[in-house]
Each structure stands twice: as structure tokens, then as C-alpha cells.
Amino acid sequence: MRRAIAFIRQLPGIHEATGDLQTVTVTYDPGQVSVEEISQAIERAGYHVEEIISDRYSVPSP
């Protein structure tokens, strides 16, 4: 999964990408990168994307 995380981290707007053997969790700016672009990066790394769970939260700036 390290390879997939490395590919994801190359995308603009990625704040954090972590994972284990089966799951990758990504924090990103949707104004700079899309879920589709993240999925494509994972597939370019040689992995298959089975399910995308997207939770959007916004935190106002102080």
C-alpha cells in the first residue's frame, strides 16, 4: 500500500494519506483534487479501488 500512498501524495491538494494493508484514508482539498483523480492514482500504483466512502466536513477558518 506504500506505493499507492506515494502516488496519492503526489497529487495537488492532498493534506494527508495513510493506510494499512486494505484501506487508504485521504484528507484532501476538493477544490484542488477530485475523488476520481485519487482513485486513478491508486489504480496507477497497481491497486484496485473497490469502494469509496466519502465524508465531507468543513471547518471554518479562525
Q: What is the pLDDT of residue 58?
A: 58
- Could you tell me the residue range of the domain that residue 27 belongs to? 2-44
Q: What is the pLDDT of residue 54?
A: 77
The answer as to whether 51 is a domain residue is: no
pLDDT tens profile 3-57: 999 999 999 999 999 999 888 999 999 999 999 999 999 999 999 998 888 776 6
* 15: nearest Cα among 2, 3, 4, 30: 30
Q: What angle do CA 53, 2, 6 make, to 5 degrees?
A: 85
Of residues 21 and 60, the one with the higher pLDDT is 21
The answer as to whether 58 is a domain residue is: no
Task: Give 60's pLDDT tier (boundaries 50, 70, 90).
Answer: low
**Number of domains present in the structure of the chain:** 1
The answer as to whether 54 is a domain residue is: no
The answer as to whether 57 is a domain residue is: no
CATH (domain of 15): 3.30.70.100
| pLDDT at 59 exceeding the cut of 70 | no
